[in-house]
Every structure is written in C-alpha cells, then in structure tokens.
Amino acid sequence: MANALGCLVTCCSVRLLNNRNASSVFSNRGRQVCNCTIRSVIGLPGCRRPKHQWSCLQAISSAYPLPWMPLRLQRHTPTTRPSMDEPNNTEKDVASPPPETWEQDSQNPLNWPSREKFKNTFIASISAFTASVGTSLPSSATYQYQEEFGVNVMQSILPLSMYVFALGLGPVLGGPLSETVGRHPIYAGSMFFGALFTVGAGLTHNFGALCFLRFMAGFSFSPSLAVGAGTISDMFHPAQRGLPSTLFILMPFLGPGFGPVIGSFVIVRKGWRWTQWTLVFFATASLLVSLAGKETYRPILERRRAKRLGHPTGDKTPLGSHILMFLRIALVRPLHMLFTEPIITFVALYVACEFATLFAFFAGVPYVFRRVHGFSIEQSGLVFISIVIGCLLGAVTIIVLTVVSYLPRAKQLHPERVPPEYRLIPAMFGSIGLPISLFMFGWTARDDISWAVPAFAIIIFAWGNLCIFVSTIQYTVDTYTGANVASGASANGFARYTLAGVLPLFTVQMYRSLGIPWAASLLAFVSLALAPVPWVLFKWGHIIRKKSRYETA
C-alpha cells in the first residue's frame, strides 16, 4: 500500500511539474518540496518544514488545480510562524488568510446588532427633539417680553424667529465637523454649547442680547439636526431606513408641538426665564444620553481601523481644505441647486411654505383662541397638543404606506432600486389635507362654533404637513447620490427655516388686517397652488431626473 501511494505521489509530482503552467513556478528544489508536501497531504511522511509545505501548496493549487486542493489548503493553514532557528526563514513570509473587509467588519455600523442601532437612533432623535423644542418653548412669552422690554408685537416674536433662522445654518457647521471629528461628538458638543448660550439668554436683561443669545443657542443646537439623517443612513440599508427615518424626522415636529404646551404652564407660574432653564434641562439630559453612543461615520471608522491594523490612513488633507469643501457642499452647491434643479426648487418651495405655516401657528393660535374663545395662556398652550396628535397620525400613515406600497416593490425589484417617486405617495395624500385644514381652521374660528373644530383642523394640518415633509425628504435622498444628497438637503433646510423664521413676524398683523377667516384662507390658497407638486413629480419625475445636471439615481 505504501509503495502504491509512493507511486501516486511520484506520478502527481511529475504530472504537476510537466504542466505548462507549473514549469514557470517550480525550481529543482521546488520539486522536492512539492513531493514532500503531497506526501504530507495524503498522509505519508514528508517535509517537516510547514513554511515550505504551505508555499508549495499555494503554488500547486495555482499551477495545477485539483478538486481536493482548496479543502487541504484550508486544513493545512499554519497557525504559527516558523521559529527563527529554522533554515531559510527569511525567504518568504508565512501566508495568512486575507484580512476581513470593511463590509464584513463587526465595527461597520451596517453590521451592528439591532440594539446598538436603536440606541444611536434614539440619541439622534432625542437631540433633534431638544433642538426643535427650543423653538416654541417661549412662544407664549410675547406678552411678558412686551411688558419687560417695552417692545411691540412684531419685535416680541424675534427671539423665536432668531432661533429658527439659526437652525437653518446647521448643515454649514455640521458638515465640516462631522468630516473631521465624526458624528458622535457633534451630539454632545451641540447640547453643551447650546445649553451655555441658553443659560445666557435666561440671565440677560437686554432684549438685543436675548435675541443674539437665542440665535447662538439655535446655531449651537443646529448641527445635531444636520447630522441625524446621516447617522441613520450610516446604520441602515436603503430598504431598512423607512421606520428609523420616520421616527427621527418626527422629532422636529413633536418638539414644536410640545414646546408651547410645556412653556405656557412654565410662563404662567415661573415667568419666561424659566422656559430657558427648561431647555437647559432638556439639553443636559440629551448630553448625558449622547455619551452612551458610538461613532457611525464610515471615513472616521475606517481611519481608526487602519490605525489599529497598522496601515497608513491616507488622510493628509488639511483641515482648511475640509472646511472649504464642505462650505462648497453646504452653501454654494445648495444655492445653485435651489435655482437650477426643478426637483429641489419645487420641493423646497413646497416644504418651506408648509413649514412656515406650521410656525405661523405659534403666533396665530394664541391670538385666535384668546380673541375668539377667551382662552388663557395655559389653555392656548394646550391647543398645541393637536400638532402632536397630527404628527403621530402622520407617522403611522407613512409607516403603513411604506409597508403596503414601498416594501413590496423593493422585494419585487431586488436587486434593482425602487424608483424614488414611490416615496411621494404619503405626500400626495398630505397635499389634499393641507388646504382643507387651513380653510376649516379659518372659517370655523367663531364664537358660535366649538373650539374643538379649529383644533381638529390643526390635527389635519399637522398630519398632512408631516406626510409631505418626510416623504419629500426621502424622495430627495433617493433621487440624488453622493454629496449631492447633502447639498439638496441643505437647500431644503435653507428655504424651510428662512421662511419659517420670517412668517411668524407678520402673522398677527395678517390676522388683524385680513381677519381670521381670510388670513387663514390666504395660507390655504398658497397650499392649494403647491398641492400638485408631489403629483407632478410622481408622474414625470423620472423624466425630470434624466435632465438633471447632477448625478441622480
């Protein structure tokens, strides 16, 4: 039997060495090593030097592949390097299995367990809630501003408007910071500096200083809003982003809804300064929660991985270049897209008008319900629960429509992507509800009609507004690729927060000049004029995308 196996070894060696490919691989010395290696593989005594066995096995498998060779190669992978006293140990390094790729790495956020993804999604969401609740917490303090600082009605809205203006600058600050330090430190840093400026706003006795400090507080909080969507995309594949994206985007609506409810009771019992201490409490809680998070930004994690493995990071770009690049992405390109890209132009215009109408309620609701129904500050604040209810219903609607219409198409078209236009289905429903709700609010705000009717109209408005906002944001993300996504989101944010900061300044004057029914009807007509936007994009969006100057899906 041993002789037969020896003949087999010899035949295999001769056959390998006669092979046309093998002739360029093996030397005379290699014949002996290969012979010993094959003898070892099939169970006969052979060479005792594992380094030579392994290198020859590699050469054999490439020169003359045999069915059993891959299995044997795996089984004979050396676990230790040969000692220094072995001969020829410097000729060639011991081969090792290929290193784990980033896609397979457990540190890749896409491979994290669901528990870790939920924790970081919660951190992004609670930070967004804190930043947005600061917009409306002092919205019921306008009368106290007028009494303490001697300002008029329009000026008393400025602390709210300045904060909202600053939120629109989030992408400018959040982009360069996330590139250099990652996303995770931004949450803690935003909460820390936002809380500091909020403390200053609560201590000041000068109205100009109050407006400035409110602006700086909003500017400090804004990066947490800007990087939240990126955190979600870092951890979830496109088909999995529906639920976490909806939960995150829900926060900038729940915050303004809860703000007046909390703020009205605080203002009556403690005064407007305690609205700032309340915001400091939210910021401190968010700061502590954010400390439990982990970094999700891929370039930062890959650089850390390269350092851990001893590889060059390849990151030699100066900080100034990073800042200039992101200023271009967050300022120059968004403005260019805002005026040259039809998709961005009409989506930003539509969302900005509806978002501004939402913030106009912060000035309009107290005026309407106090004047018509004689509500107190606390009662007027409770009306804003309607916004919370409407937003929650909108979130449920989006999730249901995603499960019913989007996910089945994603499975059907896999591995191809679902056309971005299918993200607009919730917006198509919401576009119907918005003008109806505004007409209903204006013409039912009468003393002979129950206050519950205009409050119900606010629920419908908040429902439609959230449906439009979430679906158009998802549509923009799915339509554009690369850095164009951030630029499109920045353009949307600029338009949204700029108009949302301006409109509340004139809301009370508009209600006084036109009357409550016609002032609300004016907003309803604007909403009605923009209602075809999601329908047109759903029908002809694929044609518009092909004509885009920027890279699209």
Other beta carbons within 10 angstroms of residue 546's beta carbon come to: 8
Q: Is the predicted pLDDT of residue 68 greater than 50, yes or no?
A: no
Q: Which CATH number fits domain 334-553: 1.10.10.60, 1.20.1250.20, 3.30.930.10, 1.10.10.10?
A: 1.20.1250.20
Question: Do 249 and 470 contact (CB within 8 A), yes or no?
Answer: yes
pLDDT at 175: 67
Lowest mean pLDDT among 130-139, 230-239, 391-400, 441-450: 230-239
What band does 50 get if pLDDT is binned at 50, 70 and 90? very low
Q: Is the predicted pLDDT of residue 12 greater than 50, yes or no?
A: no
Task: Work out the average pLDDT over 348-352.
Answer: 95
pLDDT at 356: 94
Task: Work out the average pLDDT over 271-283.
Answer: 96
What band does 93 get if pLDDT is binned at 50, 70 and 90? very low
Task: Report residue 93: phi and psi, to 5°.
Answer: -70, 150
Phi-psi region of 152 (alpha: psi -120 to 50; beta: other; left: phi over 0): beta
What band does 316 get if pLDDT is binned at 50, 70 and 90? low
Task: Work out the average pLDDT over 225-234.
Answer: 84
C-alpha to C-alpha distance for 315 and 327, rounded to whole angstroms? 19
3-class state of residue 341 by DSSP: coil
- Annotation: CATH topology of 116-308: Growth Hormone; Chain: A; (1.20.1250)
Q: How is the chain split into domains, by residue range?
A: 2-77, 116-308, 334-553
Lowest mean pLDDT among 221-230, 282-291, 310-319, 436-445: 310-319
What band does 78 get if pLDDT is binned at 50, 70 and 90? very low
The fraction of the chain above a pLDDT of 90, given in percent, is 51
Task: Work out the average pLDDT over 143-155.
Answer: 93
Please tell me which residue, 369 or 3, carries the higher pLDDT value: 369
pLDDT at 180: 73
Question: How big is the CA angle at 438 (ends 435 and 440), to the nearest 5 degrees?
Answer: 105
End-to-end CA distance of the chain: 66
Q: What is the pTM of this model?
A: 0.76
C-alpha to C-alpha distance for 117 and 130, rounded to whole angstroms? 20
pLDDT at 302: 78
| Maximum mean pLDDT: which of 328-342, 438-452, 482-496 | 438-452
Task: Work out the average pLDDT over 356-375.
Answer: 92
Maximal CA-CA distance, the chain: 111
Say yes or no: do domains 116-308 and 334-553 share a fold. yes
Q: Is the predicted pLDDT of residue 197 greater than 90, yes or no?
A: yes
The per-residue DSSP string of 56-100 comes to HHHHHHHHS--TTHHHHHHHT--SSPPPTTSTTTTSSPPP-PPPP
pLDDT at 341: 93
pLDDT at 507: 92
Please tell me which residue, 164 or 63, carries the higher pLDDT value: 164
| Maximum mean pLDDT: which of 152-156, 441-445, 473-477, 494-498 | 441-445
The per-residue DSSP string of 483-521 comes to HHHHHHHHHHHHHHHHHHHHHHHHHHHHHHHH-HHHHHH
Other beta carbons within 10 angstroms of residue 190's beta carbon come to: 30
